[in-house]
Amino acid sequence: MQGAKPHPNESLSGYLRRCAHDELYETVAPFYGRLEVRYGRPLLGQLATVATKLQLEGSVLEQITPVSGAEKGQFPLQFERSSCDPFCPYCLRENGFWDISWRHCYVSACPRHGARLVDRCGRCETQITPATGGFLACECGAPFAEFPASQASEAEVAISARLIESRWGTDSQPPASFDRFIHFLHGSVQSSRLDKPGKARLPRSAEDAASVAKAVWPMLENPQEAFAQLISAKLLESADRDITLPMKLGGWYQSLSRFRGPWYDPFWAVVRSLGAGQKEGPCIQENDRLTAKEAAAILAVRADRIVEAVRSGKIGGEIKESALGHRRTWVDRAESENIATESARYWEAKTAAEFLGVSKKQFALLGDAGFVAPVDRNSLPPLTDGIFKASELQRLAETIRVGARSPAGGGTTIRFADINQRRTNELQALKRVFNAIKAGKLRAVSAASDDALGAFSFSEDDLRALIDSPEQNKFYTALQVSQICGWKHECVTHWCREDLLESRKSKTGGADSYEISPEALAAFQSMYVVLSDVAKLTGTSSRRLISVCDARGVKAFAKRCGGATSRCYLVKAADLFG
């Protein structure tokens, strides 16, 4: 099975439709069966296998694959459509492939033709999904290129055009975070069951995306009026007390703070103008008490957490019980406002990862490497969920940005977000790279002021030199030792854990990992004989050798039992020849 190369800006689902068509499949579903994958997250984890079956290089599919922490030129996994696979019939007729921008859940129109994207068959009324239909026609036989498309509204066309430009255009504005800003505005005007800013459901169809465009376009077109009305309405929802604007807006203000840069300046100008009459710091009025619900709104937490904090004495307040048994919790307002101010200085892991522009897994690697470090939970303000100090992360990103050097020559570069286990499975090498970047020894060659750390570019030659340097690679991982010596990985880790094989212990993704020096490995091999090695050389079994050792009074030890199975037998060399 030979797959053709993807077109520029062709979607992964559309490319697989085209491959299915080239293999004479009328619909894409049986083609997925032949590849032994299904579209979605499972497919992303098997890209290398799919590329091999299509006789392609793995990097070819990676170029059109949704990724976490995507920057310009990449498709954001967060906003990939899961329920439908819409398209522009006119573009299909003219270009002959499915555009990658159609997979974005907030793109509802084709800016080129001014048409609403189509996601449902006009003949059989079946919704088109990545796993249904073929490359040219619906399962009922209706040709996609002949589907009727309705005229899109001005808001749909404008927002879709800006989304496409922010991701795949040549202009630096809007920034790549524009789709996250649309999602934030969407959550601001639409309530959700979670009642949190930015937690609105993603649009499930092109029609849903069109509704979002209609709701948020006025704020983008005229922030001085529509965005100001949104903030004013939120201020009215807050209790009319003399507290700061960020406190009144609570978690919504914290979410807005993620969007910085020249493009967002008009929105911050609105915030500053509305905040001109607000207090710059906490101020206590005569009524210095809040209900648990009011305090929860300021601190952006659940009311039951407020009640528990008062009961345990973590924050000031009192719980009163009426004669009828009703309990009411009162909280000290000044303390609540101070806690809100202090809590805003700390971010949860998800917020920190989004600020840095990296995936959840890479952020965990950064933590293991000491690149980012949580604060001591005992030092946090009460009711604070964030454990990463925002100012430290901002200072770290700015230090790396300022330390960027001019690129030498035309060598290839790699984004910080792509320095992960897809690049190398040597976790210790990745940690060395992160520490070298933090220490300024490995400097970025491109770091725009509007970019997150994940978008900073580094010289691939410098990166490879650091990973492959013999001076740096003085230790083997337990897995490397098992591959070199032919031992089971679980035996190597068992010997390390029992201090039979000298090693240094670390954490990788929360799990224990071990590093062994060549000298420690040589000392281990001179001191112990692994019975499985002897069994292979003599053509017998480890069990037979254990019996022989027992008969001669030589003790075989350090076995690891799993049920009735015993493994990892060792014998001291001195006992064999002593």
The pLDDT value recorded for residue 494 is: 86
Which of 282-296, 400-414, 436-450 has maximum average pLDDT? Answer: 436-450
pLDDT for 45 equals 73
3-state secondary structure (DSSP) of residue 135: coil
pLDDT tens profile 338-347: 888 888 888 9
Q: Please give the backbone phi and psi of residue 528, each rounded to the nearest 5 degrees, phi first.
A: -125, 155
**Of 102, 120, 97, which is closest to residue 167 (Cα–Cα)?**
102
Q: What is the mean pLDDT of residues 457-475?
A: 74
Asked if pLDDT for residue 102 goes beyond 90, the answer is yes
Q: Of 31 and 236, which is predicted with more confidence? A: 31
User: What tens digit of pLDDT does each residue of 276-324 get?
Assistant: 655 444 333 335 677 888 788 778 888 888 888 888 888 877 877 655 5
| 361 pLDDT higher than 60 | yes
Q: 268: buried, middle or exposed (CB in 10 Å: 19+, 13-18, 0-12)?
A: middle
Residue 576 has pLDDT above 80, yes or no: no
Of 506 and 176, the one with more pLDDT:
176
Whether the per-residue pLDDT at 365 is higher than 80: the answer is yes
Residue 519: which of 506, 502, 535 has the closest Cα? 502
d(CA 172, CA 72): 9
Q: How many Cα atoms within 13 Å fall on the side-chain side of residue 281?
A: 0
- Pairwise CA distance, residues 328 & 346, whole Å: 30
Q: Is 225 left (phi over 0), alpha (psi -120 to 50) or beta?
A: alpha
- Residue entry with tokens 């904090």: 309
Give the mean pLDDT of 28-38: 85
Mean pLDDT of the chain: 82
Sign of the torsion angle spanned by Cα atoms 245, 246, 250, 252: positive
Burial of 195 (0-12, 13-18, 19+ CB in 10 A): exposed
Q: What is the pLDDT of residue 309?
A: 84
Class of domain 289-344: mainly alpha
Closest CA to 503 of 529, 482, 486: 482
Give the model's pLDDT for residue 90: 93
pLDDT of 384 reads 86
Query: What residue has token string 């020894």?
Result: 441
Using pLDDT thresholds of 50, 70 and 90, give the confidence band for residue 92. very high
pLDDT class of 40 with cuts at 50, 70, 90: confident
pLDDT category of residue 560 using cuts at 50, 70 and 90: low
Contact 251, 198 (CB under 8 A): no
Query: How large is the average pLDDT for residues 71-98?
Result: 87
Residue 470's pLDDT is: 55
Q: Which residues belong to CATH 1.10.1660 in the chain?
A: 289-344
Task: Answer whether 129's CB lies under 8 Å from 83's CB.
Answer: yes
Mean pLDDT of the region 395-413 = 83
Q: Are 119 and 86 in contact (CB under 8 A)?
A: yes
For residue 78, what are the contacts with CB-CB under 8 A and spacing of at least 6?
68, 70, 180
**Cα–Cα nearest to 15, from 80, 73, 96, 72:** 96
Whether the model clears a pTM of 0.75, i.e. scores above it, the answer is: no
Which residue has 């069966």 as its token pair? Answer: 33
Contact 227, 270 (CB under 8 A): yes
Sign of the CA dihedral running 482, 483, 488, 489 = positive
**Residue 3 predicted with pLDDT over 70:** no
Task: Give the pLDDT mean for 8-37.
Answer: 87
Pairing relationship of beta strands 511-516 and 476-477 according to DSSP bridges = antiparallel
**56 confidence band (pLDDT: 50, 70, 90):** confident
pLDDT at residue 128 tops 60: yes
CA distance 443 to 400: 7
Percent of the chain with pLDDT over 90: 17
Q: Dig out the tokens for 29 from the structure.
A: 């579903």
- Given this model, what pLDDT does residue 242 score? 47
419 near 463, Cβ under 8 Å? Answer: yes
Among 119, 125, 126, smallest CA distance to 150 is for 119
pLDDT tops 70 at residue 423: no
Query: Is the predicted pLDDT of residue 109 greater than 90, yes or no?
Result: yes
Please report, to the nearest 10 degrees, the dihedral formed by the alpha carbons of residues 290, 294, 298, 300 taken in order: 130
Q: Is the pLDDT of residue 535 over 80?
A: yes
Instruction: State the pLDDT at residue 284.
Output: 33
Q: Provide the pLDDT for residue 564.
A: 54
Is the pLDDT at 88 greater than 90? The verdict is: yes
* Cα–Cα distance for residue pair 119/127, rounded to 1 Å: 6
Structure token pair of residue 96: 């002959």
Which stretch of 262-266, 462-466, 511-515 has the lowest confidence by average pLDDT? 511-515
Q: Token pair 């983008």 is at which residue? A: 220
Task: Tell me if 387 sits within 8 A of 374, measured CB to CB.
Answer: yes
